[in-house]
Amino acid sequence: MKFEPIKRVRIYEEIAMQIRNLIVNGKLKPNQALPTEKELADTFDVSLVSVRQALTVLETLGLIARKRGRGIFIVSDEIDFIDGNSNDISDFEVFWFTDHDPEMTTITEILEVRRMIEPRIAQLAARRADKKDLERLKKCAGRKIINTGDAAFACREFHTLLSYSTKNNIIIDLLDGIINNVIWDTRERKAANSEAWKKSIEGHRLIFEAVKNRDSNAAYRAMFNHLKEIEMLMFFETEERIDA
């Protein structure tokens, strides 16, 4: 008889997962308003802090939008909500809270920045990558993931190579600082232990094909979708969890 270890889930993760499932299953419709933070806290019988943490996760994942003076709404089109066509900086605003989990804040901040810049990096790579860049990207994207330790390394290498393909030193340094963050590195290595992370590496192949074909729009969308997979892994697939 084999027993499986019990996974302990933070309170905010459980709240976020329940709301996410309602969105995915169509029970919460695009543009539909969610209850207020206090109403959600009463419904879930949890603190306002846990509700705000959950909403921060969902907002970072692009599933909800918080509009000042209006409320919390389900996002109708995730790409439109947080793509580079937006001229409203409030689209990227996260309402932080005083009593928060420092690790979670760092992760959500990193994810927010990555979603803002990496689809654009993919676009630039599609326009500027030279023959050597394409060869390196092809080799990295085609690498077979044999063990879980390979997954995080392969992901980091691919994103780094893309940044080099932009020929922009500021972008290269910026991305290097993001993906080599100590807290991000720890969280990434935990997530890499799941089989789902290996599957997310397949997104590299889609990004590479778009870059190789010089299709900057396809590269943007492929990167956006790839980052969504990474975000879901970071928040919902990490195996080692602790109570809130």
Under DSSP, the state recorded for 150 is H
pTM attached to this predicted model: 0.59
Encoded amino acid at 153, one letter: F
Domain end: 62, 85, 100, which one?
A: 100
Which pLDDT value is given to residue 166? 94
Which domain does 4 fall in, by range?
1-100
Side-chain-facing half-sphere of 97: CA atoms under 13 Å: 17
Residues 96 and 148 in one domain: no
Residues 94 and 194 in one domain: no
Residues 54 and 142 in one domain: no
- What total of structural domains would you count in the chain? 2
Domain end: 48, 81, 100, which one?
A: 100
Residues 84 and 110 in one domain: no
Residues 76 and 113 in one domain: no
Measure the CA–CA gap between 238 and 222, rounded to whole angstroms: 23
Contact 191, 237 (CB under 8 A): yes
Residues 90 and 35 in one domain: yes
Which pLDDT value is given to residue 89? 26
Which pLDDT value is given to residue 125? 97
In the chain, which residues have pLDDT < 50? 77-102, 238-244
CATH number at residue 153: 1.20.120.530
pLDDT digit string (tens) for 40-90? Answer: 999 999 999 989 888 887 876 678 888 888 899 998 544 433 333 333 323
Which class for 153: exposed (0-12), middle (13-18), buried (19 or more C-beta within 10 A)?
middle
Residues 152 and 64 in one domain: no
Residues 192 and 175 in one domain: yes
Residues 219 and 127 in one domain: yes
